[in-house]
Amino acid sequence: MRFAALVCLLLAITACGGNAKMNTVSPPADFGVSDSGSVHHANTPIAGARVYLLAANTTGYGDASVSLLNPTLTGASDAIGAYVTTAADGSFSMKGDYTCVPDSQVYMYALGGNSGSGDNNASGLLTVLGSCPASGNFTSDASVVINEVSTVAAANALAGFATDATRVSSSGTPLAQIGISNAFANAANLSDFSGTAPTTTPAGNGAVPQSQIYTLANLLAACVGTASPSATSICATLFVIATADGTATGTQPSDTATAAINIAHNPDSNIAALYSLAITNSFAPALASRPMNFTIAA
């Protein structure tokens, strides 16, 4: 029931299950303007991460996100799509390597890389760019930071439409398109382009659960900052807990971004076990005690 309520909140439906009247959420003016930036574990750059540019699919719920980068231009691709690779300082640029369909909903996904402890193929990080501009490119010189905080923000904002980090989708109906646009815009309420969670929304009309966001970010950081997981690593423990349905027999994620989405889907599950994994002090202020649940809303 909590997840259904979350979907209704993200869609901004006036009466869920009643009249299909919807309100459009407007993000800050500078939201979704960048196609370059850096990937970080807290304040530490991640080198060698693959950064994908993906758009939400509109052919049906559960379908794979649409890869936007041109593999001929990037020179690299895999089963997810074309990607660019971060430099030693964590930086990357996609300028000139893609075109997006105006008003499509766009996000970045960074996978793998080395933050200093060794290559970690379980490191998955997200950030939301939002609606593709009329020009078909995010042309500003602004730079976006992809880190654990932006990942928590993206996972919770997109939870109603995300199956995992590479499958964010909806139907193509006008109502669904307003809903997913609202979900992408809501990410700006939870994290800014510097990978920082505010205490109030950019419009100043709502409180943001900053400490809860930072606690979840610290939980992810405990895995992201390690080398590829072994059977006894903190990443492996996280993946056992943060399953797709929140149960011991559910499908386990293979990266931290999908783990964050699973936690957003099941905010009442395994609270004590998850809280015990938030052992880093990468982001502060964090919660001083275990929460009742991990629901994130602004």
Which mean pLDDT values do the consecutive 10-residue runs of the chain (298 residues) have? 40 39 53 78 97 97 97 97 98 94 96 96 96 87 90 97 98 94 95 94 91 98 92 91 97 98 98 96 96 91
pLDDT at 23: 60
Domain presence at residue 98: yes
Domain presence at residue 252: no
**b/e map 206-231, b = 16+ CB within 10 Å:** eebbbbbbbbbbbbbbbbbbbbebee
Domain presence at residue 53: yes
Domain presence at residue 255: no
Domain presence at residue 91: yes
Question: Containing domain of residue 179, as a range?
Answer: 2-12+30-190
Taking phi over 0 as left and psi of -120 to 50 as alpha, with beta for the rest, 36 belongs to beta
pLDDT at 130: 93
Q: What distance in Å separates the CA atoms of residue 35 and residue 161, rounded to the nearest whole number?
A: 23
Domain presence at residue 18: no
The answer to whether 69 touches 81, Cβ cutoff 8 Å, is yes
Tally the domains of the chain: 1
Domain presence at residue 200: no
Domain presence at residue 207: no
- Tell if the pTM clears 0.85, that is, is over it: yes
